[in-house]
Structure 1
């Protein structure tokens, strides 16, 4: 049986906050179950990781090999669900290490595939996807609630959400943040050169060459055609009780709306993120939100700090490889401790119902 022990940090934090669930918890399940539920109302599939008494086995999910127990019988965990919202062009497999840390602590984890902004189809990445992502998170909760093998094991009055990059935008929205496509456009008009790939995605890079001026002109023309809607976008699901935003896309938010989030909000930031320039994204939220918890700031990390395992470089395009590459000198050995800090923050606020059995 494989069971990752809770870190000293986690034990101290849970004890200090009177969350006694973990005080004597032991991990009695053998592996991490894997199931895929159909999405509701035309959504993509929802991948679910959960505690199971069955042993893991290596399963190929190209380009990854993951250790899971496919379609295994679930066992009672701590009664709480966490929804994980992937980044642009992402999917479930780059979040399996965090999912395992959560499952080892007794949580069930659901990962919806965000339509038009996933590894199979990224045609609607950006504000088009950002508008519907919170609803997809809510329907992922509904899909788990409708699954007879999972529903009896959960209490869905308090659900956590964790998001990375565009998924971090989703987490900020569900925490009470208000944004608009017009704000996104205004940011890009003002800071296109300094935050180019936040505005244009992975279409191209600025290289310092003679084509940069043309790239910026074309980008602004497209942005002005697509993102002139000033109507504020808001999201709310009363079941969601805590949110974690990792390296979030955030330049289009009204920061006043995030000064006092409606739920506890934790932040994970990276000092050398070249996809989302920190000063207009994660750091801007951290500066505005005085009650937010800085779960971790990794000054030497890049945008892929929440991706574990990281996608192999040979499956990425040139721009993706550049934007997601770990900065020189960054040591991924720190990431298990980051996962445990996220687990601790969620456990503190979700009030787990029982130790996993």
Structure 2
């Protein structure tokens, strides 16, 4: 298994990842199909002109947020901006990766992130959550929506689209990029690895529904990144081998008890084409290290609400979460910059 190593990190740090100047970050929301059967609340971060008041988003008693210019005017550039679509984890929301969206926008990307109905913190509707195949489609619909947005469509390079998914969002972007899930394979694997969190979610996510065996690929995706992905072992080895776009698979080295990195992200690494895929395990990261930075006292506050919930704010080593995030930013921005700087317009 390829673990995170100092040589690779050094190469990433030396790579000229800060190709773009540092941009001000504009922010808007798109409410798609509000009266339909699957409405999407989509968050959008984009490079903006330095005008207008800023507000804090994703900031609450537990997590630090970031300051953005609401509905700010987009910043005109000589080149169009690459697009990144985000997918959050089970029971999360677009806010969980808002810190990363802010960082990437500051380097010249436009980032879009929907809340997936049925699997967000404020929407656990079982009728929606069991339609897991809708998650990749949510991302395709999000790309469709931003591609015709009257404010931003003309600023986006639609030939440079990537996807980043955390936890269940990792499964989502793999399916979006061409991975084929097989319910029979998943069921069989859970007989051997029943301790995995994924195997406890069969009823909640409809993981035995044959609809999941269909292709959910969106050919517009040119690269993808997974952050401590779950449900990986349901993807067929052949479909992973057939994926012909670059990927960055990042796992958390310290298991929270039911998401061993060797059995999830490590499974992907076995079959993805080595020349196109990079696999890195951050030794002192836990599953929740990929979420926002927690405020002082957040662990106690969460544990008072629900015993054990404070694990969301815990990391596995001596480093602060801000340091882990800094490492993630270098790795992710370096990976994306290398791909899209070498992609012909």
Question: How many residues matched?
Answer: 318
- Residue 256 (structure 1) aligns with: 238
1:237 alignment partner, one of 212, 218, 234: 218
Structure 1 counterpart of 2:109: 107
Equivalent residue in structure 1 for 2:336, among 320, 330, 346: 346
> Which moves more between the two structures, 97-106 or 226-235?
226-235
Query: Does 2:259 align with 1:269?
Result: no
* Distance change (3 Å), C-alpha of 1:181 and 1:66: same
Q: What SS does the corresponding residue of 2:32 show, helix, strand or coil? A: coil
> Relative to structure 1, is the Cα distance of residues 9 and 129 closer, same or farther in structure 2, using a 3 angstrom cutoff?
farther
Whether the 8 Å CA contact 1:51–1:75 is kept in 2: the answer is yes
Post-superposition shift, 1:134? 1.1
Partner of 1:198: 198
Structure 1 residues 137 and 226: CA distance shift in structure 2, 3 A:
closer
Q: For the residues of structure 2 that align with 1:161 and 1:229, how far apart are their CA atoms?
A: 25
Deviations 1:287-331 (A, max 9, x none): 222234336320121111321335944357445544773225353
Higher relative contact order (CA 8 A, sep 6+): 1
The answer to whether structure 1 residue 35 and structure 2 residue 28 are counterparts is yes
Task: Return the offset for 1:85.
Answer: 0.7
**Displacement after TM superposition at 1:104 (Å):** 1.3
Which residue of structure 1 aligns with residue 5 of structure 2? Answer: none
State the alpha-carbon separation in 2 of the partners of residues 126 and 301 from structure 1: 31
- Distance of aligned partners of 1:186 and 1:228 in 2 relative to their CA distance in 1, 3 Å threshold: farther
Q: Contact (CA 8 Å) 1:258, 1:285: kept in 2 or not?
A: yes
Asked if 1:280 corresponds to 2:263, the answer is yes
- The aligned counterpart of 1:325 is 314
1:308 is the counterpart of 2:303: no
Could you state the TM-score of these two structures normalised by the residue count of structure 2? 0.80
Structure 2: which 5+ residue stretches go unaligned?
A: 1-8
Deviations 1:202-254 (A, max 9, x none): xxxxxxxxxxxxxxxxx8xx589962638623222121111111111102111
Q: Does 2:264 correspond to 1:298?
A: no
Contact 1:38 1:143 in 2 (8 A): no
- Compared with structure 1, are the counterparts of its residues 140 and 237 closer, same or farther at alpha carbon in structure 2 (3 Å cutoff)? same
Contact 2:57 2:68 in 1 (8 A): no
Distance (whole Å) between structure 2 residues aligned to residue 84 and residue 33 of structure 1: 17
Shift in CA distance, 37/228, structure 1 to aligned 2, threshold 3 Å:
closer
Indicate the SS of the match to 1:69.
Answer: strand
Deviates more, 1:312-321 or 1:329-338: 312-321
Secondary structure in 1 matching 2:326: helix
**2:333 aligned with 1:337, yes or no?**
no
**Deviation at 1:10?**
5.3
Match of 1:207 in 2: none
